[in-house]
Each structure stands twice: as C-alpha cells, then as structure tokens.
Structure 1
Amino acid sequence: MKLYFLGLLIVLTLFNCKKNGNNSEDNYAYLGGEIMNPNSDFVIISKSDVVIDTIKLDSKNRFLYKVTNLKEGLYTFYHGGEIQMVLLESTDSLHFRLNTLEFDESLVFTGKGDKKNNYLINEFLENEIQEKKIFKFCQLKPQVYENRVDSLKAFKSNKLKAFKTKYSPSPLFDKIAQANIDYNYYSSKEVYPFVHHGHNKAEILKSLPSNFYDYRKTINYNDGFFKEHNHYNSFLRYSVNNLALKEHLDHSNDDVFKRNSLCYNLDRLKLIDSLISNKTIKNELLYYFTANFLTKSTNTENNDAILSVYLSKSSDETAKNEIKRFATSLNNLKEGGQFPEIKIVDYKNTEFDINSLIKTPTVICFWSNTYYNHFKESHYKLNELKMKYPEVKFIVINIDDFGLDRPKASLKENRFKFKDEYQFKNPKESIEALAIQPMTKTIVIDKHQKIVYSNTNIFSINFEEQLLGAINR
C-alpha cells in the first residue's frame, strides 16, 4: 500500500516538474483516489453542476484523472450518493483516500494541494461539531449568545491567519476559507430566533441588539461565485427563513408561530422571488423550500397552493416537472388510501409484492448506505420496537441501486438480522412513487392495507402513540 502511494506521488510530481509558469500548458490538475468499501464502481467529477466526467474505479478501487482546461475553484466529486468538494488550482496533483462507512471523517488528502484541502475538510468537520454547540448557545440571552459566536469566529480567524502565515496559500484559497468563516458566523445569527426556546418569535426578534443583523447590508444574495458553496447556501436558507419570519409576523394574527403554516411558507416563496435575481440560486431555493413543505404536509389543498406559487416563480422546467411528480406521489399516499403496488426483493433475491406481506398493522422504514449513521441508529430503534410490539410487522427497505451485496454486507457487519429486510426491485420508480424524502420517513399501514400515517418518524416522541392507534383500528 505504501509503495502504491509513493509511486503515485512520484508520478504526480514528475508531471508538475515538466513545466513552470502560468501559461496555458499549466492549465490542468490531477485528482486521484482510493475508496474503501465502495458503493459503486465509479466516481463523478463536476463543476458548477456540470458533469466533467465519470471515472471507473480499477480492480483495487482506485482512479487517477487529469482535469484539462482547468477553471480554478471548487470541484465536486460524487460516489455512491455521497458528495464532497475539493479546491483545484493550476498544476495541483491531489490524491485522497476515504472509507464510505465514514465518508467525510475518513477523507485525507496527499500530494500537491493537500494542505489547503485538508484544512477545508477539517474545518467542515469542526463546523458539524460546532453546530451542536450553537443550538445549545441559542438558549442564551441575545447579547451573551452574540459574545459566544463572536468568540468562535475570532478563534477560526486566528487559525486561518496562522495557516496563511505558515503556507502562504493563494488568494483564491483565502477567499474561500474566509467565506467559510463569515457565512458560518452569519448562519449562527440567522438561526437564533428559530432555535431559541421562546414561542413568541416577535418578542425574540424585538429583544435582539439593534445591530445584530447589520452584516446583511454587505451580503450579496446573488453571488454566482459561491452558488455551489455549502456555507453560502446554508446561510441563504437560514436568512430567507428569518427574513420571511419578519414579514410573516408583520401581518399574522397567530399567537404562536407555526413553521409549517401555509401563510408563512407562501411568504417565504414570495420573498425569494423578490430578493433573489440569480436564476440558479432562486430556482434552487424555491425548489428546496417547496419540497421541504410538501414532505411535512398532509393537506392536499395546502400542497396545491404551494405548488401553484412555486410553478409560477421557478424557471427550471426540469425541477418543476420533478416537484409536480413529487406532489402527485404525496397526494396518492393520503391517509386512508390504499398502499401502492411496489415490488421488493429479499436478500435471497426472492421477489414480493409488498402488499402481499401486509396482513397485520405494518411499519415501513427505509435506509441507505449513504446515511450510514441513520442506518445503524434506525435499526437499533427498530429492534426495540419489535420487542415491544410483536403484533406489528416491520418492513425495512434499503433504497440503494447498486445490488444486494453492499447492503447485505452492512447488515452482516452490524449483526442485524435479514428477517423482514428488503430492497426495491425498481429503486428509482419506487422512491418516486413513495416520495421518500427525508430518509427518516416512515409509513404506518393498518391490517386492511390502508395508510394510517404516510409520513411519520420512528424517532418522533409520539410515534408509539401513533402505532397504538394503528393497532387498535
């Protein structure tokens, strides 16, 4: 293994030594990698939502690819449902190694360009940990909270300053790394009114210092450079939530703010339309919030109202067709309706019509190797529920589309039994028909094959109450 890496680095270094200077012949970069426990036999490299190439892994699950006509900036590599970004600059020769069971946590870069990318991935992981702290800090009073997040920003800024002093990275890296710090900080400000435990959101907004959101004056809500940037997109979503909250509270008579109310969600789509002019950014925000509302709504009239506004404001015809199909699937799963005819296969590759298995109250859950932590946690929870409710059948379906071997290995590695475990016969069509979004979605069916709950969650505090209701029907 060590000889392979040494050999690869020597080859990449020789490529770099051939030319010097910033001429057109230097307009390339190499990206290679090794993937342990691969979920498919290829990786996809893209930039700005445009696929550059699909590269097949070799027999040792490795690849090496030359990006020609390089446009310096953030590139995306995709494997088996997981996505991560890398920064590529002229003549970089970047190699990574990762384990799909811990995709982001295991990701390590070597070669020319490794320092900046290891910095960025480590910061990404630190932000995931910090997010949990932020949610706890949100219960503090506004000024105390602001002091805490200011301290976190100062710590990150000092860390970036030390990195720049030691390695003298490019202005492009500096721009991206500073944006990570800034937009993460701005997001922590935007999320405060929603996470703070008070129910009176109007009073919470009034309690904020007058300059709490002064940074908004400098924000470009139509930044084409950062439109695929995770921190920028997260900030946009949080900020749109917050700006729409202010507008909603100005005309709402509700005593308690309801995030899933039709009125608030319509206000949010209208705000996106008025605030955002960049078509890509606008269309993605409209799609995200419309899909998010639909997944949580069981009211078909509200669904139709949201859908109508979305279709009038989006200019992305492909996305519009997707959301229409998604809404149709959700409406077809209305409570009291018949569960659709879906083909599934067990791990002996025996095919079943799922309705033929439903003779008692039944819970249907889903999982994917892409969401490995959810896979494990949901199976532990299901084991508890199976012990408590032996009269209920639990059907657990892996939604991945890369054969039986990988999900079967995941079950075996974690010592989960194969009983009542299945895969879709036709994953793409079945996922669309059941509108599986988010992954925590759970469907409860009574003994007459009628849908009791089309979108609940086994981790919900009232799930067992819902389950008892289905048992007693």
Structure 2
Amino acid sequence: MKSLLIYLLIFISFIGCKNNPLSKSNDDAYFGGEIINPKENKVILFNRELGISDTLMLDDNRRFIYKLSDLKTGVYSFRHGGEFQLVILEPGDSIMLRLNTYDFDESLVFTGNGARKNNYLIKTFLSNEKESRRLVKHSKKEPEFFETFINKRHEKELQHFSRFLEKKPISEYAKSIIEGNINYHNYADKEIYPFIYFGANKMVHVKDLPKSFYSFRNDVDYDAAHLRNFLSYNRFLSSHFDNIALIPYYHNKNYHSAFNRHEIYYNKAKLNLIDSLVSNKFIKNNLLRNKTREFINNSNSEEDINDIMAYYLSRTTNENHIKSMNSLVASMDNLKPGKGLPDLSIINVNNEEYAIADVVNKPTLIYFWSSNAKRHYRNSHYRVNKLKDKFPQIAFMSININDNSASYWKETLNQYKFDLDNEYRFKSPTEARETLAVDYLYKVIIVDRNANIIHPNVNIFSDDFEITLKDVIQKKGSIK
C-alpha cells in the first residue's frame, strides 16, 4: 500500500508543477487505486445525480488515477467487474483505494487525503451486513427485548463514531452520510421486526408494540437525497411504508383476519402514503415503482394489475420508469401459468448455445443471480443445494443475468465451486431480463417437463416454498 501512496504523491507532485495546465486547484480531487486480481481493465466512476460517468483505465500494474476538476461534493459509485461500492468525494481529496476482487468489500482499503471518512463508511457497511444476517434470530425475541437490543446497539455505534470524530473531525457532509447510514440501518431493523415476529396471522398485534418502539420516526427524513443510494436508507423506506400502510389496511379489515401483503387495498395505501409523505422526486419515483413492481410480480389478477398500474401512473413523474413498468406488465402477461417458456438463448460453461426450453426435460426450477449481489448468489446456490437433496425429482437451472465477459462469469463459478452442469448465462442479457421480467433477483420460475410455466414467480427463501415444490411433484402428469 505504501508503494501505491508514493505513486499518488509523485503523480500529484508532477501535475502540481508551476504552469502545468493540469495543476490542482482547491476544487479538484484525485481518485485512484490498485485492483488485485482484476476482472477487467477498467473502473467506472459515476454519480447519476450529477450526470457524471467516467471510465478509468488500469495500467500494466493494475493501477489507475484520475483527476476530477471542479469536483462537486457527493457520494460517487465506482464499479469493477460487476461489483460496486460507494465513496465520498469532496474538493481537495486525493484518495487511493486498494482491493482484491476475490473479496471485494472486505478487502477494500483507502489511503490519502479523504481516506479516513471512507474507511469508516466501509466499516459501517460491513457491520450492517453482518448485523442484517443476525436479524431473523433476534426478531424471534419479545418486543421489549428486541427494542432494548436495537437501542443499545444503535447507541454503541453512535458513541464509537463520536470517538472517531474527536480524534480528527471530518466535514459536516461526510458526517451526515456516515451518521445517516448508522441511523437508518437501526431504524430499518425496527420496521422489519413485526413482519418477522408476528407473521401473517398476527400482524394486527403491531398496535400492541411498546409505545416507544417507533419513537425514532420523529427524526425520519423522507427526502434525504444525500442517502438515496444507500442500502440502509432504501431498506428503511421500503419496510417503513409496508409498516405504516397497516393502519389503513386494518381500518378496513376484520382484526381477526390473516394479513395479506398482496391485497390490492393495502398496496394502494402504500402508494398513497409515499405520494403524500415524500417530496424528493427521485426517492418518490423509485419507491412508487418498487412497490408497484412488487405487487405486479406477485399478482395473478389482471384486474388488480391494471388497477395498481392506473394508481401508479397517476403518481409517478418518471417517463423511463413508466416505460419499464409497461414492459413488465406485457412480459408478465406472457408468463402466465400454462404458457411455454419464451424463445431465449442460453450458453453453458462450454460455450454451447441452447434454447432455454430445450434444456428442460423434467420439472425445473429456474433461478437467477447477478455478480453485483454477492450475498444473494452465495445464499441462493446454498439454498438450491439443500433443495436438490430433498427434491431429486426436480431439476435446477442457474442463470447469470449480467452482460460481463464469459471469462469473468466462469471465474466466479470456479471461485465458489458451483456445480457447472447447471450453470448458464443469457446470450442477450438485456432482452432476456425484460422478456422474463427478471427485475429482481428473488424471482424464480418453475416449469413442467414440457417447459410450460407452472409458477412464473416464487421465492425460494419463503417459508412455504417447499410446500410449493411438493405441490409441483404431486401434480398429475408433471413427472413421468
């Protein structure tokens, strides 16, 4: 890492020479680094809000460096080999990163001016991910226990951050980013809790939670544009609107009836709440699209889908979202139970091309993964391995949805020792994702031995998924 920092210092000294047209002003910044085991020869740096997207090429030493003239303060994304992370960039920063693609987030380290805030931010990311994996375990505890646990954890994290600031202050902007990431991760866990603890049959008891349980809602900012790319903030908003929509839901429902998250009235209530509480157009439009998409992906009612779409279209202002949602509805219409799989080409690890339906010769579960979501593809493959043992009558087909190079795809497969016999990638990923309505990774399609659709959208992580598979096996004529 020292050699990398020297590389940065020499570069800055060179461009800082007098009369050099590339000399650094107070509004400039530098971003560079070294990629160990690179997947490709470039790094993409972008900020969609500011309309910035730059391709930074790696040199023969797997390094890159880039000058950002007249930099605007913000949270930027950088992407390499299908994975990405965030970096806070402010005028005057000279930040160098070092990472190993085999362990992208965990190996990421920053040096240089501006590194300190970003190293702390990465630390909160990794901590949040670790705590999220433990959420289900803690969410089975009584509300009073869970509330105390989250409050203590939250306070501990804020105290640790306060000690960090005492050693060497950072800008108010960077402080708001890190503090927001800490806060909304804890807020999100509280919003998710009742859905895990009470479950569908007892959701009505949300009203019996301790009075202080949601006291943090007084501090919520629905228009925190600086946090709009953060998983913690978006996870909070998504669960929060699921939660507060329970009030109008139960106002019109029998309190003893089981909760149905796919009920049309409940989902329209969510759109109403988003429309009334969120002002920022980017955040509002994303939430409206995501909640509408969730409903459509889980509905078999053409009438309800048309109803929710009309509701959605009267509230969104994003024309690109409207086009994609209309395309989703059209795709879903072609994926109804009983219809055959669309004519799409897939490629195996031997670079052999097939029509997707030609690979099917018995009831088959088709699941999808992206190299951008490491935890998901690890968990989904692990889950499928367990299902294979329980359901030998079912075939399992894994399809990567990225448009990365074949070599990168194969390297990922080999790195995690996935079963290569069942691994494929799309020949035309963009077309295939649209045709199969694969707009979120938890979507799974189940077909019969003739490649006719049985279930167009199920979730292998749901509690009742194994019951669904048993039903498939018991269907007359499914297995011969």
CA distance in 2, matches of 1:316, 1:128: 31
Cα gap change, 1:367 to 1:235, in 2 (>3 Å): closer
Task: After TM superposition, give the deviation of residue 283 of structure 1 in Å.
Answer: 0.5
Q: How high is the TM-score relative to the length of structure 2? A: 0.88
Q: Which residue of 2 aligns with 1:465?
A: 470
Q: Which residue of 2 aligns with 1:79?
A: 80
CA distance in 1, matches of 2:429, 2:146: 45
Aligned residue pairs, count? 468
Task: After TM superposition, give the deviation of residue 328 of structure 1 in Å.
Answer: 1.5
Cα gap change, 1:203 to 1:440, in 2 (>3 Å): closer
Residue identity in the other structure for 2:47: K
Task: After TM superposition, give the deviation of residue 373 of structure 1 in Å.
Answer: 4.1
Q: Which residue of 1 aligns with 2:170?
A: 169
Q: Which residue of 1 aligns with 2:235?
A: 234
Task: After TM superposition, give the deviation of residue 313 of structure 1 in Å.
Answer: 0.8
Q: Which residue of 2 aligns with 1:91?
A: 92
CA distance in 1, matches of 2:145, 2:448: 50
Task: After TM superposition, give the deviation of residue 365 of structure 1 in Å.
Answer: 2.6
Cα gap change, 1:26 to 1:470, in 2 (>3 Å): farther
Cα gap change, 1:178 to 1:384, in 2 (>3 Å): closer
Look up the SS of the partner of 1:104 in the other structure.
Answer: helix
Cα gap change, 1:145 to 1:364, in 2 (>3 Å): closer
Q: CA offsets, 1:394-433, max 9 Å, x none?
A: 3332222123211222333344443243221111101111
Q: Which residue of 2 aligns with 1:399?
A: 401
Residue identity in the other structure for 1:283: N
Cα gap change, 1:449 to 1:146, in 2 (>3 Å): closer
Look up the SS of the partner of 1:422 in the other structure.
Answer: strand
Q: How high is the TM-score relative to the length of structure 1? A: 0.89
Look up the SS of the partner of 2:64 in the other structure.
Answer: strand
CA distance in 2, matches of 1:226, 1:2: 32
Cα gap change, 1:139 to 1:365, in 2 (>3 Å): closer
Task: After TM superposition, give the deviation of residue 388 of structure 1 in Å.
Answer: 5.8
| 1:109 to 2:110 alignment | yes
Asked if the contact 2:185–2:236 (Cα under 8 Å) also holds between the matched residues in 1, the reply is yes
Asked if the contact 2:124–2:182 (Cα under 8 Å) also holds between the matched residues in 1, the reply is no
Cα gap change, 1:148 to 1:307, in 2 (>3 Å): same
Q: CA offsets, 1:425-458, max 9 Å, x none?
A: 1111011111124323322221232111112244
- 85-94 vs 54-63, greater mean Cα deviation: 54-63
Please list, as runs of the form range in 1=range in 2, the aligned pairs for 1:359-378 lying within 5 A after superposition. Answer: 359-378=361-380
CA distance in 1, matches of 2:313, 2:138: 38
Q: Which residue of 2 aligns with 1:158?
A: 159
Task: After TM superposition, give the deviation of residue 319 of structure 1 in Å.
Answer: 0.7
Cα gap change, 1:427 to 1:68, in 2 (>3 Å): same
1:450 paired residue among 439, 449, 452: 452
- 264-273 vs 218-227, greater mean Cα deviation: 218-227
Residue identity in the other structure for 1:318: N
Asked if the contact 1:361–1:471 (Cα under 8 Å) also holds between the matched residues in 2, the reply is no
Residue identity in the other structure for 1:47: N
Asked if the contact 1:446–1:470 (Cα under 8 Å) also holds between the matched residues in 2, the reply is no
Q: CA offsets, 1:335-382, max 9 Å, x none?
A: 111111111222332222222233333332323333334434444554
Residue identity in the other structure for 2:345: K
CA distance in 1, matches of 2:206, 2:162: 35
Please list, as runs of the form range in 1=range in 2, the aligned pairs for 1:217-296 lying within 5 A after superposition. Answer: 217-253=218-254, 255-296=257-298
CA distance in 1, matches of 2:45, 2:53: 6
- 293-302 vs 152-161, greater mean Cα deviation: 293-302
CA distance in 2, matches of 1:349, 1:195: 43
**Identity across matched positions, percent:** 36
Asked if the contact 1:16–1:91 (Cα under 8 Å) also holds between the matched residues in 2, the reply is no
CA distance in 1, matches of 2:398, 2:224: 42
Cα gap change, 1:91 to 1:288, in 2 (>3 Å): same
Q: CA offsets, 1:75-121, max 9 Å, x none?
A: 22233443321111221111112233432222111111111111111
Q: Which residue of 1 aligns with 2:124?
A: 123
CA distance in 2, matches of 1:83, 1:323: 25
Unaligned 5+ runs, structure 2: none
Look up the SS of the partner of 1:83 in the other structure.
Answer: strand
- 329-338 vs 392-401, greater mean Cα deviation: 392-401
Asked if the contact 1:295–1:438 (Cα under 8 Å) also holds between the matched residues in 2, the reply is no
CA distance in 2, matches of 1:420, 1:148: 42
CA distance in 1, matches of 2:235, 2:459: 24
Q: Which residue of 2 aligns with 1:344?
A: 346
- 116-125 vs 42-51, greater mean Cα deviation: 42-51
Look up the SS of the partner of 1:111 in the other structure.
Answer: strand
Q: CA offsets, 1:2-42, max 9 Å, x none?
A: 634532344347768989xxxx9210111112234444443
Look up the SS of the partner of 2:195 in the other structure.
Answer: helix
Asked if the contact 1:40–1:402 (Cα under 8 Å) also holds between the matched residues in 2, the reply is no
Q: Which residue of 2 aligns with 1:440?
A: 442
Look up the SS of the partner of 1:30 in the other structure.
Answer: strand
Cα gap change, 1:348 to 1:90, in 2 (>3 Å): same
Cα gap change, 1:372 to 1:446, in 2 (>3 Å): same
Cα gap change, 1:373 to 1:144, in 2 (>3 Å): closer
Look up the SS of the partner of 1:208 in the other structure.
Answer: coil
Q: Which residue of 2 aligns with 1:208?
A: 210
Residue identity in the other structure for 1:448: N
Asked if the contact 2:95–2:112 (Cα under 8 Å) also holds between the matched residues in 1, the reply is yes
CA distance in 1, matches of 2:226, 2:414: 44
Q: Which residue of 1 aligns with 2:140?
A: 139
Task: After TM superposition, give the deviation of residue 273 of structure 1 in Å.
Answer: 1.1
Residue identity in the other structure for 2:294: N
Cα gap change, 1:300 to 1:80, in 2 (>3 Å): farther
CA distance in 1, matches of 2:94, 2:251: 54
- 158-167 vs 414-423, greater mean Cα deviation: 414-423
- 266-275 vs 226-235, greater mean Cα deviation: 226-235
Residue identity in the other structure for 1:171: E
Residue identity in the other structure for 1:429: E
Task: After TM superposition, give the deviation of residue 267 of structure 1 in Å.
Answer: 0.7
| 1:179 to 2:180 alignment | yes
Q: Which residue of 2 aligns with 1:319?
A: 321
